[in-house]
Amino acid sequence: MTSATTALLLTAPVAVPLAVSAAYALSAFVRHEVPHPHMVEKPRPAKKAVAVGVATGPSYTGKATDAGEPPVESPAPRHHLAEWAGLVSPAVILGCAALLAGECVDGGSVSAYSGLLRADALTAWMLLVVGAVAFVACASAPAHLAEERAAGSATAWTEWRYHVLVQAFLGAMCLAVVTANLGVLWVTIEATTVVTAFLVGHRRTRTSVEAAWKYVVICSAGIALAFLGTVLIYYAARQAGIAEAWALDWPTLLARADRLDPAVTRLGITLVVLGYGAKAGLVPLHAWLPDAHSQAPAPVSALMSGVLLSVAFAAILRYRVIADAALGIDFTRILLAGIALLTLALAAGLLLAQRDFKRMLAYSSMEHMSLVALAAAIGSPLALAAALLHIAGHGLAKATAFCASGQILYLRGTSKIGRVRGLLARSPWLGALFGLAVVALLGFPPFSLFASELGIARAGFAAGTGLGWVMAAALLLVLTAFAALATRTTRMLLGTGEPTGEHPSALWPLTLGLVTCAALGIAAGPLGDLLSQAAIVLERP
């Protein structure tokens, strides 16, 4: 592969989403859909069929509804084609990831721009995950936006803003995956916070704005900790004689980790794990997750839960390898195992008391990320491969579940579990897809989470007495979460009711996500070698 081709493959996953975002912005200005300062959005009461806090939004009907209110054109059918243009970015990400996987599957790596961008097997795997989950989420966006228009909570302005921010979000996540510089990694993770804060508050209701502020405050605290940890690692690298230009280069730090000052490195790694752990939904800075995921638009919740948490944890995995080379295996093992158990215990307890199905899915994300953290603490090749497979399976299943939950919300007008009954009778296809997504999250075959959770359990019990007891406690907590999730989902699915109309355009992305998740569970195929090589990248030196 030539250097020009390598640079193109590493740049395209970042550049194309940003270009699509710019194209959406430019088209909005050309069509004069960006509101003038005097055209202030005015909320109107929510329609009866839509949940309070969801349908509340500006009234744009093309006519002046109140004296002095300027008329604003309602969304026209021409927007429909533009909404599907968002699929270009996931397609490009998947294509570049596949080509990079072919180069890295034998243990090699490629780089560009003097090592600023770099891809190994782990990079290719994470790009595949980002592209697959983004495809499901972006393909579900047109149906979701159509529901918002029907509810009166979407306008040309809010749709423009949605597309611009989602594409920028994808670009930031891809840059976090392909960069080899830990400083750029911090910048991109911070960029995801800025972009997604506006997406969480997309509906501009009191509840969504409160959730957005909570998200910004807590994640900013976490990112500040990660920044301080990054500075300490830089300081340790400079003290070890590493040149300034390479002091935050991941391969360089890994090669010279034995020279890093242990005390400084220990403090820096602790701050990094806590800081990026906030973005991954791990304790103690986890409180933003249920509020943000429950208030964000369903496709955005799918992206946040399906890949944002995983991208943040991939950063922790990169630091973990450096820490193990510099400090030995016990430090990160104890730190990650303790955080994993605390997160899992909290998620299981909150799932038992949960009455909102979107928050239920958010707490389920905490449960699954704690399992990934536990696998990282174990650190064996089997555990790491299972963790990466779990990241992919969880992303696909959770994207399907969140996108389905958004349709349920608009169909039934509430996110309360107790008020949703007979979903299979009322909407058979939607109910079946939502139920199967939860079945996948519960770890049933043939979905890939069955294989990944089994691999994590096997690796834990094979790692030694100490981790065996940790794994036993984790399995008890997983069973508790399993019972809570299964009981509440069953209540939503079973019962009687009158059938309602279903739109195939809203269901095929969910079907695709579940089929892909099941295919990973049945046979990894050519991805098996890539998965094994990605685990080798993360093995302790």
- Print the SS3 string covering 403-421: HHHHHHHHHHCCCEHHHCC
Please check the confidence at residue 172 and state whether its pLDDT lies above 80.
yes
Task: Report whether 376 contacts 500 (CB < 8 A).
Answer: no
Confidence category of residue 45, pLDDT binned at 50, 70, 90: very low
Model pLDDT for residues 65-97, shown as the tens digit of each residue: 333 333 333 333 344 667 788 899 999 999 999
What's the CA gap between 55 and 221, in Å, rounded?
A: 31
What was the pLDDT predicted at 112? 94
CA atoms within 13 A on the CB side of 479: 7
How far is the C-alpha of 517 from the C-alpha of 286, rounded, in Å? 26
Residue 102 has pLDDT above 80, yes or no: yes
| Residue type, position 190, single letter | E
- Residues 6 or more apart in contact with residue 122 via CB below 8 angstroms: 314, 317, 388, 534, 537, 538
pLDDT value at position 429?
92
pLDDT for the residue 306: 93
The stretch 488-505 carries a mean pLDDT of 83
pLDDT digits (tens, 9 = 90+) for 366-391: 999 999 999 999 999 999 999 999 99
Q: Which tokens in the block code for residue 227?
A: 């920044």
- Residues 141-168: b if buried by 16+ CB within 10 A, e if exposed: bbbbbbbbbebbbbbbbbbbbbbbbbbb
Alpha-carbon gap, residue 271 to 226, rounded angstroms = 6
Return the residue matching tokens 């002091």.
Answer: 247
Asked if 198 and 235 touch (Cβ cutoff 8 Å), the reply is no
Q: What is the 3-state secondary structure (H, E, C) of 123-161?
A: HHHHHHHHHHHHHHHHHHHHHHHHHHHHHCCCCHHHHHH
Average pLDDT of the chain, as a whole number: 87
CA distance 435 to 405: 11
> Half-sphere exposure of residue 291, counting CA atoms within 13 Å on the CB side?
20
Q: Give the separation between CA 204 and CA 295, rounded to whole angstroms.
A: 10
Tokens representing 322 are 């450096």
Tally Cβ neighbours within 10 Å of residue 515.
Answer: 12
Dump pLDDT digits (tens) for 147-161.
888 877 777 778 888
C-alpha dist (Å) from residue 90 to 84, 105, 171: 11, 21, 10
Cis peptide before 262 (omega within 30 of 0): no
Say what the pTM is. Answer: 0.90
Q: Is the per-residue pLDDT at 344 higher than 80? A: yes
Q: Is 70 exceeded by the pLDDT of residue 302?
A: yes
Cα separation, 222 vs 230, in Å, equals 12
Neighbours of 81 (CB within 10 A): 9
Task: State how far the Cα of 71 lies from the Cα of 68, in Å rounded to an integer.
Answer: 9
- Checking if the pLDDT of 217 tops 70, the result is yes
Nearest to 44 by CA among 75, 71, 65: 65
Distance CA 305, CA 281 (A): 9
CB contact set of 34 (below 8 Å; sequence gap of 6+): 28, 157, 160
Q: How far apart are the first and last CA of the chain?
A: 28
User: With 70 as the cut, is the pLDDT of residue 8 above it?
Assistant: yes
pLDDT digits (tens, 9 = 90+) for 426-453: 899 999 999 999 999 999 999 999 999 9
Task: Give me the pLDDT at residue 193, please.
Answer: 93
pLDDT digits (tens, 9 = 90+) for 220-269: 999 999 999 999 999 999 999 999 999 999 999 999 999 999 999 999 99
For 271-290, the pLDDT digits (tens) are 999 999 999 999 999 889 99
Which residue in 280, 230, 281, 238 sits closest to 260, CA to CA?
A: 238
